[in-house]
Amino acid sequence: PQVVERCVAAAGYSVGEFAALVFAGALGFAEALYAVKVRAEAMQKASEAVPSGMLSVVGRREANYKFACLEARKHCESLGIENPVCTVSNYLFPDSRVIAGHLQALEFLQENARKYYFKRTKMLPVSGAFHTRLMEPAVEPLAEVLKSIDIQKPLFCVYSNVDGKKYMHSKHIQKLLVKQVVSPVLWEQTMHSVYERKQGTEFPYTYEVGPGNQLGAILKQCNLKAWKQYKHVDALEDEEAAET
């Protein structure tokens, strides 16, 4: 209980941003759940319209992701694809990105990985190019739902995926949650914002709540000192322990 009372900041990765806002008192749980449902259904529908996906990339220091994406788009144009999409959709940690867009672009990047100094590439098990303009059809349905929801100013700082900065007020939350659907997740930048402090200042305790510890692994790559104060809390395990 005292950890919750002393909480000074929260952030959520992609759809996890809704959970962070519920935790901070900005959104009601039931309303947020409904918004997430509408968001998921609209994004799935957008995914079905274009064969697209997401490619996890670990690059060398020489890797130029923008140039690689530009050449992948040119490749798609040579195949007759109009206005192809291939862009960084998730900034994870130094030298690690997720690139999303048309499947043909992602296949091109995999085939030419060595040329672009990509050490490792892996297609993610998702149905579409999330956090790119291919998700534009999902914007309006989510915007309409959020207009009908009572959004409060968070009780403590919540950081946005869109710009890595703190949410300022309820209208700001409404605007950026919609923008997040078609904008890259700036998680690496968010980690720098959250843990920025004067030299010699202690880092706060960090808790990752939910299944898996992927965000902890990313934090370790972004800020080793902050990671040393990190703990993982699996909500399902806690529920099972309470039942027994």
Q: Give catalytic residues, as residue numbers.
A: 14, 131
Paired tokens of 217: 């692994």
Q: Measure Cα distances from 243 to 177, 237, 238 in Å.
A: 35, 10, 9
Cβ count within 10 A of residue 11 = 21
Paired tokens of 230: 């990190």
Paired tokens of 150: 């009572």
Strands (E), the chain: 9-11, 52-59, 86-93, 96-102, 118-123, 157-159, 185-186, 206-209, 230-233
Residue 165 near residue 76, CB atoms below 8 Å: no
The strand pair at 96-102 and 86-93 is best described as: antiparallel
